[in-house]
Amino acid sequence: MKISQWMILFAVSLTFFGCSSTEYRIKKHPERFAALSQEEQTAVQNKTLDLGHSTEVVYFIMGNPDRKKRRVKDGVNKEIWEYSRIYTQLEGTELAGYERRIYYDTKNKVYRVYYIPRYVHLYSEHQEIVAEIEFEDGKVSAITEYDS
């Protein structure tokens, strides 16, 4: 896949992470942003990540990773940043019990009791990896996106 296609796919996936978060990180760490080269600052402002960018650029665009892994492959140290999303899914409903109701029967002049079934929704929480950014010597060497 061409690098430009990677950038387009990556820009689309940024919707998972929110548009205003990049601006927030720039305001929070202006000295770190100012230390980036002009090319890297432009990439951060345009939210386009490419091979060869530093960990700082990835931080400003994507934020802190959900998980960091280290790997040594063919004598090369690699660091992998994983970004994931957590969502809940409705699994169904279940009978939780009965609610007691009392009413006054005006015809027979007595109180009556009846029960209404109550159900609860059952949810499960899922986490899926959305993207992995691989670094060699502090520079992006691979970008992997996963379909959700």
How far is residue 91's CA from residue 126's CA, in Å, rounded to a whole number? 12
Q: pLDDT band for position 3 (50/70/90)?
A: low
Dihedral of the alpha carbons of 34, 38, 42, 43, in degrees to the nearest 10: -90
Of the listed ranges 38-42, 73-77, 126-130, 142-146, the least confidently predicted one is: 73-77
Query: Where exactly are the structural domains of the chain?
Result: 3-145
C-alpha 52/C-alpha 57 separation (Å) is 10
Exposed, middle or buried: residue 95 (CB in 10 Å: 0-12, 13-18, 19+)? exposed
pLDDT at 136 over 70: yes
Residues above pLDDT 90, as percent of the chain: 76
Whole-model pTM above 0.75? no
Query: Would the pLDDT of 10 be above 60?
Result: no
Evaluate if residue 5 carries a pLDDT over 80: no
Q: Which runs of consecutive H residues, i.e. helices, occur in the chain?
A: 3-13, 20-28, 30-34, 38-46, 55-62
Buried/exposed code over 27-54 (b: 16+ C-beta within 10 A; e: otherwise)? eeeeeebeebeeebbebbeebbbbeebe
pLDDT in tens, 20-62: 588 999 999 999 999 999 999 999 999 999 999 999 999 999 9
DSSP conformation class of 4: H
